[in-house]
Amino acid sequence: MSGDKLLTMSLIRRSLFRLLVCLVCLTAGALAGTAAPPNIVLITVDTTRADRMGFLGSKRGVTPNLDILARRSVVFTHAYSQAPFTAPSHATILTGTYPQFHQVEDFQVPLWKELPYAPAILKAHGYQTAAFVGSIVLDPSQGLAVGFRRGFDTYDAGFHLAHPGEDHYTSTDRRAAVVVEHALAWLNKRPAGPFFIWVHLYDPHFPYEPPEPFLSRYKSAPYDGEIAYSDSALGKLLTYLRAHGLFENTAIAMMSDHGESMGDHGEEFHGFFLYDATIHVPLLMKLPGDRFAGKRIENHVGLVDVLPTILQAVGIEVPQEVQGESLLGMMQPKPPAASGDPPPASSPNPLVYSETEYGVRAYGWSAIRSVRTGKYLFVEAPRRELYDMAADPKAEHDLAATSKAVADTLQAQLDAFRRKTSKNGEAPPSVSDPEAQEKLAALGYTATSTDSAATAAMGGGADPKDKIEIGNMMGEANYLLEVTRLDEAAALLKKVIAKEPNLWIAYAKLGATEANLGNLPESVKARRKSVELMPSDANLHFELGKVLMQAKDYEGAVPELEIVVAKMPDSWKTHLMLAISDDRTNRLPQAVKECEAVLAVLPEQYGTNLLLGRDLVLLGKPEDALPRLMKAASIRPRAPEPHSVLSEAYAKLGRNEDAERERDAAKRLAENGPVPGPSEP
Ligand SMILES: [Zn+2]
């Protein structure tokens, strides 16, 4: 059968689903009309593998609270994430759209305000909305999850980059218990009416270091300990809901955004591959009134289906743009087979799509895409892969070469699916702000190269399968950078470079590390190499310019910063750095121009007013300098410098009395220290 035919059949099945789901929806709507609207609790536990869940058959005993919840829920045994990465996966969960549609492929692509978005939809239906997240990577105030705040009355995050020596649990992320505590505090004080809360726990993400007693109890399996600890925190949330009579009339959806490879197919963490270790995820849905409690759904479903399911479960119409399918139809008992058609609720697994652009965006390798359909897992990559998951659940025997026709069909299906589900038109521009890039870099995340982001397609680089050792080493280096173990990070990055001498990102990170260690010449060397390998990336020029300035090589910094202002004319920070470098290298007219660019955005900048005033005096324009210098003096009345330059300006204008007064003011301020009160003109 051709790929198109398979796709058409799958689409027909899906429209039958929709029909059935509408009926379910009507029932839910009728119920909602007579009773209070149900509350909604969305729980995402980061980096949590499906095979650790007791309710999915794990014997490890790490999820007692979730197992109890599962008995009141519908359990999805074959739920799959659409992306093995925090931002794109959460964007899919919260919008019900695929990554190729919402395009939040990494931390800095903003979530468009036109996208359907759970909190915005629910707020419009009278819900109180609140988010409680566990990591800076989902903190919109830090420029990393841009657009995620929309529709939330409360967005409880408040993270910052760790200061040297500061613990990551008090800076970039926080323990599950703290997240849950904040959620409970909010629930205690919430206004009347239905609520939607999103609780995100980050603990199972590397590093695996659960608190006691889980640390001792899971000494040999600390990752399991993190999951057990998260489960215990969720136990408190569920106990609260029960104790306050909220459990019954609340829809609770629990899932993870992706799993963790832990060595599967050679991958340590997550992001590069699309095998079950990172893509098969836990998914529970407890419906209001515990409808269909205890039901197990074996069909393949995606996290993209969560939002439409929740909306229909509480009787809210699903926006047209939502691409996922409500799963309520699957939960219904099978209707009697009246016609010749098979009942839609028992339709076999539709196609489940996943992708990752981590390889191409972060390292210039290749993107990877996959479909799971029937018994097959097909992976599109420079060397494509095909697995029969029924016979080979660990995906160890690649059939792509021997079952070429199947692989071709699935490739055609994948292409057709992408064509139908991709967003047409311009991609939203990434936030190309050097400060946000620095924040990402300090977190160990890769600042996306503007050029590789634009490629969007597969990328055409190396197959991540061939590069996974480098990927793992970079993952460890990222962690060492995040916890500021800089010597170890530098040593590891040098090892990476020895193996992969053309990896620009390794040089960029080494450059940052050496600068933080105070080794400026080493930093300049590494930064220069990164620019040489990726000359189109403005952020790399910015970082090179910055470290050259630190090393007092202003002559070298000027051309780098000029490249940056040409590409990012809105970056006032770059204009300021260029102004200083121009000034230090006696390019005074250029310095004046750059100062003016800064002051157009930030007119109250003390240093820029002073610098501009001084350079105008040096250029023989003392008249023009006066207002700038007076401004500087008024911004910092205790600083002697503006008065000292004012005195020069007045002297050049022949206003000797004014010059003398300013000289005295400067002298007095310098000698007597700070003088309170506004300065004289
Ligand atoms: Zn994640």
The confidence score (pLDDT) of residue 424 equals 73
In this predicted structure, the answer to whether residue 544 has a pLDDT above a threshold of 80 is yes
Question: From CA 157, how far away is CA 164, in angstroms rounded?
Answer: 21
Tens of pLDDT, residues 640-651: 999 999 999 999
Tell me how far the alpha carbon of residue 88 lies from the centroid of ligand 1, in angstroms: 9
Structure-block tokens of residue 31: 């119920």
The confidence score (pLDDT) of residue 442 equals 61
Which residue has tokens 């999850």? 145
Residue 13, in any domain of the structure: yes
Residue 663, in any domain of the structure: yes
Tens of pLDDT, residues 360-393: 888 889 999 999 999 999 999 999 999 999 999 9
Mean pLDDT across 576-580: 96
Tell me how far the alpha carbon of residue 607 lies from the centroid of ligand 1, in angstroms: 41
- CA-to-CA dists, residue 495 to 474, 491, 506, 514, 661, angstroms: 10, 6, 10, 15, 62
Return the closest-CA partner of residue 627 out of 596, 582, 597: 596
Structure-block tokens of residue 370: 């996959």
Tens of pLDDT, residues 158-184: 898 877 778 889 999 999 999 999 999
Q: Which of 333, 363, 394 is the last residue of a domain?
A: 333
Residue 67, in any domain of the structure: yes
Mean pLDDT across 105-133: 93
In this predicted structure, the answer to whether residue 29 has a pLDDT above a threshold of 70 is no
The confidence score (pLDDT) of residue 440 equals 63
CATH of the domain at 669: 1.25.40.10
Return the closest-CA partner of residue 430 out of 92, 108, 10, 127: 108
Question: From CA 138, how far away is CA 538, in angstroms rounded?
Answer: 25
- Concatenated DSSP letters for 443-472? TTPPPPPHHHHHH-S--S---HHHHHHHHH
Tell me how far the alpha carbon of residue 680 lies from the centroid of ligand 1, in angstroms: 57
Tell me how far the alpha carbon of residue 490 lies from the centroid of ligand 1, in angstroms: 26
Question: From CA 596, how far away is CA 643, in angstroms rounded?
Answer: 21
Tell me how far the alpha carbon of residue 576 lies from the centroid of ligand 1, in angstroms: 36
Contacts of 338 (CB under 8 A, 6+ apart): none
Residue 609, in any domain of the structure: yes
In this predicted structure, the answer to whether residue 536 has a pLDDT above a threshold of 80 is yes
Structure-block tokens of residue 627: 């207002």
Strands (E) in 581-650, as ranges, are none
Which residue has tokens 């407890």? 286
Contacts of 339 (CB under 8 A, 6+ apart): none
Task: Give ion ligand 1 contacts, CB < 5 A.
Answer: 46, 86, 257
Tens of pLDDT, residues 403-449: 999 999 999 999 999 999 998 765 555 555 666 666 666 665 554 54
For residue 535, report the phi and psi dihedrals to the nearest 5 degrees. Answer: -65, -15
Q: Which of 274, 309, 333 is the last residue of a domain?
A: 333
The pTM score is 0.84
Tens of pLDDT, residues 42-85: 999 999 999 999 999 999 999 999 999 999 999 999 999 999 99
CATH of the domain at 117: 3.40.720.10
Question: From CA 676, how far away is CA 450, in angstroms rounded?
Answer: 48
DSSP category for residue 181: H
Mean pLDDT across 190-213: 96
Tell me how far the alpha carbon of residue 14 lies from the centroid of ligand 1, in angstroms: 29
Tell me how far the alpha carbon of residue 257 lies from the centroid of ligand 1, in angstroms: 5
Tell me how far the alpha carbon of residue 327 lies from the centroid of ligand 1, in angstroms: 23
Question: From CA 119, how far away is CA 384, in angstroms rounded?
Answer: 38
Tell me how far the alpha carbon of residue 3 lies from the centroid of ligand 1, in angstroms: 32
Residue 653, in any domain of the structure: yes
Number of folded domains that form the chain: 2
HSE toward the beta carbon, residue 676, CA cutoff 13 A: 0
Residue 166, in any domain of the structure: yes
Residue 574, in any domain of the structure: no
Question: From CA 394, how far away is CA 276, in angstroms rounded?
Answer: 8
Range of the domain at 42: 3-333
Tell me how far the alpha carbon of residue 204 lies from the centroid of ligand 1, in angstroms: 9
Mean pLDDT across 83-94: 96
Q: Which of 333, 360, 384 is the last residue of a domain?
A: 333
Tell me how far the alpha carbon of residue 603 lies from the centroid of ligand 1, in angstroms: 41
Neighbours of 455 (CB within 10 A): 16
Residue 587, in any domain of the structure: no
